[in-house]
A and B are shown apart, each in its own frame.
Chain A
Amino acid sequence: MTDKREAVKKLFTEKSARVDTNRGDIYYQRLYAQCKKRLEELKKLEPLGNKVELSEVLSDEGYDRRDFMKWVSATTAMLMLPSFFEPLVAEAAEVMNRVPVIWLELQDCAGNTEALLRSDGPKIDEIILDIISLEFNETIMVAAGHQAEEQLHDAMETFKGKYLLFVEGAIPTAMNGNYGTIGPSGETFEEHLVRIAEHAAALVAVGTCATFGGVPAAAPNPTGAVGVMDIVRGKPIINIPACPANPANMVGVILHYVLTGQVPELDSLLRPKFAFGYRIHDNCERRAHFDAGEFVEEWGDEGAKNNFCLYKVGCKGPMTFNNCSIIRYNESVNWPVGVGHGCIGCSEPDFWDKYAYERPMADANIKAPTGGVEKTVDEFGLGVLTATAVGIGIHAAASALAGKKSDEGEA
C-alpha cells in the first residue's frame, strides 16, 4: 500500500515524460569537459581482467576503423549527444574494459545472453560487450560450484562499490524463494541478488523478466516472480526491458556510465529515456497503412504481402515505448514489425498478460472486472448491454400488461 502511494506521489511530482533532446550549448560544453576528465582518469587505470584492445578485436572480426566510427556516430545520436561528442564516445568504447561488470542469471530463459552470443556474426555492439571486464557470468563461465562461488567472492571484494551489476531474469518470492536456488550453498535467488547488490555501484536489470517479472510473472504467477526493482532498495537501478533487451541499449547504458560516471536520465519505470522515450508506433514504417486503414486481416493475406499495418493481428506498437522502430536489432538489420509480426509490447510491464495476445485488445481474453471468468472486453460489454436490454424488456412488458393506471385516485 505504502509503495503504491509512493508511486502515485512520484507520478504527480515527476517531470513530464518529455525527452529533452537539446539542452543548449552551455550544458553540453560542461558535460564535455566533465566526460573528458573522467575518461582521462579511466585511461590511467590498468584494464581489468580483459586486456585485449578493442581495435585488435574489431580488425580480427573484419571491421575497419571506418565501420567503428560509423557505429560511434550512430551511438552518439542514440544517446542524444551532439556530434562533437563522437571522439569521446569512441574513447569511452575503448576504455570500457576498465569498468567491472558482474552478470547474474536468475529465473528466465537466458534469452538476453543468448541474443548476444547467437547473433549470426558479432556486431560492434556485441563485440564491445565481449571486451567489457566481465568478472562473473553464471551462464558462460567455465568454473562451477565452489570454484565459481570463490570467483564471485573475489570479484566482489576487489571491486567493492565499483562494479556494475547486470541482472537477467526474475526473482521468485513464493515459498520463501525456494523456486530458484543457486550455488553450492543453495542460496535462493533473492538472497543471492541482495547479497551481491549490496556492494554494486549501480544495477542494470536486463530484459523484461529482470525489470518487471516478465514471462515468469505472467498470470497466475505460481513462483511469485518479481523484478529487481521490487527487491533491491537504495541503489541506482536502470531498467532495460524488452525480450530480449537490445544489445545497443545495454551498450548505451554502459557507455553513458563510462562517459559520465552517472546513470542516464530515467522515466517513471526507471527505463533510460534515450531508449524508451519514444513510442514504437510513431516511428513505425507501417504507420502510413495504419492511418490509411489498411490492415493485415490474417497472416499471409494480400495485405501482408503489401506490408500493411499489423494492428488487427495484434500489434501493440501504439501502447509500447521502445526504440526498436528506430535503431532496430542486430545493427539495424531488422525488427519484429519489419519482418511481418506485430509488436507484442515486450518492454512494458505485464506484457505477457496484457499485450502479447496477437489480436486487438477488444478481442483478447482478459479477466473481467468481476474476476474469475476470462472474457473479451467486448463480450463483457455486450453482456452488460444484454442484461440492460433484458431488464428494460421485462419492465416494459410488465408496464404494458399492467396498463397506464396509477393509484393517484385511490391513495
Chain B
Amino acid sequence: MKNGYKRVKRMTATGRIIHWINAISVLAAVITGLYIAHPYYQSFIADPAVDKYVMAWNRWVHFIVAILLDVTSIIIAYLYFFSRFEKPYKKIIPTGKNIKEFVEVVLNLLTLNRRKNFDSSHNDSFNTVYFTILHLMLAWMLLTGLQLYVHGLGSGLSSIGEWWPAMLHLVTDWTIPVTGGTLMDVRISHHYTMWWIIAWVMFHVYYQIWRTIYWQEGDMAIVFGGSKFKKEESK
C-alpha cells in the first residue's frame, strides 16, 4: 500500500461473487436474448443432426443465467435490508442528508471533479440509487421473462410439478395488462428493458473508471479485492 493511504473495506466477498455472477449472467443473457429475439447467425450448414440444437442451446443458456440472476436478486433484496455489512436501503431514504449527498455526487461528476464536497470513501447515495435502478430493471426482467416462459407450459404441467406454472401465472400474469394487454406487449417490454440495462452497464463501467482516475482512491479495486483506499487525514 502506498504511504499515506489507508484501506477502506467496501464490498464483502459475497457481494463481489454476486457482482461477477450478475455481470457474466447479464452478458450471456444479452447475447442469447438477441439471438432468441432475432436469430442473427445461421445453422444452415451440413452439420450432423446431433449438433443442430442452436436455438434450444441459446434458450437453455438464457434460462440458466436467468435463474442465476433470479437467485442473486433474491439474495440482494434480502441484503438490501438485512445485510450486516451495509444496508443499502438506508442510503435511498430521501432524508436531507441523502439528498444533499446525491446532489453533491452529481455535481462532482458534472464539474469534472472540480467540486467534491462529500466523503467518497463510503458508499454514497448516488451510487445506491443507481444500483437500485439496475435491480428494479432486473426484477422487471425476471417477472416479464417468467411470464414469457410460462407460455410454453400451457398444459399446466412441468418437470417439477403443477405448482410451478400455477405460481408463475399467479405472480406474473399482471404484467400483461400493465404492459398493454397482449402477450406481445410483455415481450416488447422485455426487449426494451434489455437496451436500458445495456445503457446502464455502459455508464456504470465508465463511471467506475472515471472515479478511479479522477478521485485517485483506487475505486476499481473494490470489485476485485473488496477495498478501496483513502488518503490519511493527517497529511
Taking Cβ atoms with an 8 Å cutoff, the residues of A that contact B are: 4, 7-8, 11-12, 14, 16-21, 268, 277-279, 281-282, 290-295, 297, 302-303, 308, 311-312, 316, 318-321, 345, 348-350, 354-355, 360-363, 366, 369, 377-378, 380-382, 384-385, 387-389, 391-392, 395-396, 398-399, 402, 404-408, 411
Contact = CB atoms under 8 A, between A and B. Distances in A.
Contact of B53 (A268, A291, A377): A291
A5 to B, nearest CB: 10
Given A279-B152, A388-B199, A389-B202, A402 B53 contact: no
Contact of B114 (A294, A378, A406): A406
B84 interface: no
Contacts of A404: 113, 213-214, 216
Nearest to A403: B112
A279 B54 contact: no
B203 A392 contact: yes
Residue of A7, A16, A303, A404 contacting most chain B CB atoms (<10 Å): A16
Contacts of A293: 39, 42-43, 52-56, 58
Given A18-B155, A293-B42, A406-B114, A7 B177 contact: yes
A163 to B, nearest CB: 31
Given A18-B155, A19-B155, A8 B188 contact: no
B195 interface: yes
Contacts, number: 178
B151 A380 contact: no
A275 to B, nearest CB: 12
Contact of A282 (B152, B213, B216): B152
Given A291-B53, A392-B202, A11 B174 contact: yes
A361 B187 contact: yes
Q: Which of B38, B56, B177 has the most CB atoms of chain A within a 10 A radius of its CB?
A: B38
Interface stretch (B1-9, B64-72, B75-83, B178-186): B178-186
Given A293-B42, A361-B187, A361-B188, 4 more contacts: A16-B170, A387-B199, A388-B203, A406-B214
Interface string B23-53: 0000000000010011100111000010011
B173 interface: yes
Interface residues of B, number: 59
Nearest to B195: A381
B212 to A, nearest CB: 11
Contacts of B56: 291-293
B176 interface: yes
Nearest to A408: B116
B177 A318 contact: no
Contacts of A391: 203
A405 B116 CA distance: 11
Nearest to B215: A406
A278 B153 CA distance: 9
B210 interface: yes
A279 B151 contact: yes
The 10 lowest CB-CB distance pairs between A and B, nearest first, are A18-B156, A293-B54, A381-B195, A293-B43, A292-B52, A291-B56, A16-B166, A354-B184, A362-B37, A388-B199
B154 interface: yes
B203 A369 contact: no
A320 B182 CA distance: 10
Contacts of A395: 109, 112, 206, 210
A348 B155 contact: no
Given A363-B38, A385-B199, A19 B154 contact: yes
B99 interface: no
A361 B154 contact: no
Contact of A278 (B117, B154, B174): B154
B191 interface: yes
A321 B53 contact: no
A228 to B, nearest CB: 17
Contacts of B117: 411
Nearest to A389: B202
Contacts of B166: 16, 18
B182 A407 contact: no
Interface string B156-196: 10000010011001100110111011111101100110111
B140 to A, nearest CB: 14
B184 A297 contact: no
B115 interface: yes
A139 to B, nearest CB: 29
A407 B44 CA distance: 61
B17 interface: no
B199 A384 contact: yes
A17 B169 contact: yes
Nearest to B155: A19
A242 to B, nearest CB: 15
A178 to B, nearest CB: 27
Given A294-B44, A399-B112, A8 B151 contact: no
B134 interface: no
A16 B199 contact: no
Interface string B93-126: 0000000000000000100111111000000000
Contacts of B182: 348-350, 354-355
Nearest to B58: A293
B214 A377 contact: no
Contact of A277 (B154, B162, B183): B154
29 contacts: A11-B174, A11-B177, A12-B174, A16-B170, A17-B169, A292-B53, A292-B54, A295-B39, A295-B42, A308-B44, A319-B187, A321-B154, A348-B183, A349-B182, A361-B187, A362-B34, A363-B38, A378-B195, A380-B192, A384-B195, A385-B198, A391-B203, A395-B109, A395-B112, A396-B206, A398-B112, A399-B113, A402-B112, A406-B214
